[in-house]
Structure 1
Amino acid sequence: MEPEVWRWIWLGAAAIFVVGEIALTGSFFLLPFGAGAVAATVVAFTGAEAAWQWLAFVVISAAAFAALRPMARRMASGGNPVGVGAGRLVGETGQVTSASGMSDGRLGTVRVGREDWHAEADDGSPLEVGQPVEVVRIEGTRAVVRRTT
């Protein structure tokens, strides 16, 4: 095959691998092949023989696999890391900073860490300013809290 043709074959392969990776959204399976094909494209445009192009493709693809597999495994293990989202507050302690006269004082504001949250008592009891509480769950934008001693 003509050396000129290999340039375009590698360029097309690189595009297909990268677009395929985008379609698979984060699997990191085709991306290493795309990196290898880009390297082979560069080698092909320098005028090197096909054997050198294939060597670049194989070596760069293998190196990219070795680099990306640990990251792909971490991402596949899933879930939000601890400390992300409102659910991170469950089990945390805070203090009531204000109690509302509405609903017999059952609603108020609590400070958990450096954040203020609208809150309500899980047992329906009134919240008292200064009272220590523990977050039981989050319901929408409101923390449901339990009195602690």
Structure 2
Amino acid sequence: MPVTVWWIWMVFAAIFIISEIFTAGFFLLWFGIGAVIAGILAVLGMSEGWQWGAFIGISAVLFITSRRFAERFTIQQPSGVGADRFLGEKGIVLEEIDAIRNTGIVRIRNEHWRSDSYTNETIPAGKRVEVVKVVGTHLVVKTLSEGE
């Protein structure tokens, strides 16, 4: 490739970087950076082999490194954060929980939450319940026995 084709690398870099905006995760960004480096090598007069080697090598290293970095931040949210803080909490049913009618509100601490039954049973108002999981903005609860 002659030195004047550096702009082809920059066009590819722009395409990759702009496409990254419309995709989830950092995947295309690293190819964009690799293309920028290859374009710089083209301007410096490096051979086609060096340009392709830099493009593939830089993109691969950045991709592998970013995967490890991203895994640290995309692990399951620790309990006690957000609505998960209610896991194991006990509360009272304010509005009957009915899976068929998709109704149900419970009070946990001083907050009111939409709720679903863990066993899909209907739970009448006034019953004591325990939060077993959180699904979106709904608490999934189970009925407590009289002594709990």
Out of 31, 46, 68, the residue aligned to residue 49 of structure 1 is 46
CA contact (8 A) 1:117 1:141 kept: no
Partner Cα distance (2:23, 2:64) in 1: 19
| Aligned partner of residue 45 in structure 2, secondary structure | coil
Q: CA distance change for structure 1 residues 44 and 134 in 2, over 3 Å: closer, same or farther?
A: same
Q: Say which one has the larger Rg.
A: 1
> Residue 117 of structure 1 corresponds to which residue in structure 2?
111
> Residue 38 of structure 1 corresponds to which residue in structure 2?
36
Partner Cα distance (2:91, 2:2) in 1: 76
| Aligned partner of residue 8 in structure 2, secondary structure | helix
List per-residue Cα deviations over 1:42-68 (Å, max 9, x = no partner). 3334x2323433332122022123223
CA contact (8 A) 2:13 2:33 kept: yes
CA contact (8 A) 2:87 2:134 kept: no
Q: CA distance change for structure 1 residues 8 and 137 in 2, over 3 Å: closer, same or farther?
A: closer
List per-residue Cα deviations over 1:19-74 (Å, max 9, x = no partner). 2333343372x3332121011123334x23234333321220221232234567x5
The TM-score normalised by the length of structure 2 is 0.55
Offset of residue 93 of structure 1: 2.0
Aligned amino acid, residue 14 of structure 1: A
The TM-score normalised by the length of structure 1 is 0.54
CA contact (8 A) 1:14 1:35 kept: yes
Aligned amino acid, residue 19 of structure 2: G
Unaligned runs of 5+ in 1: none
Q: How many residues get paired? A: 128
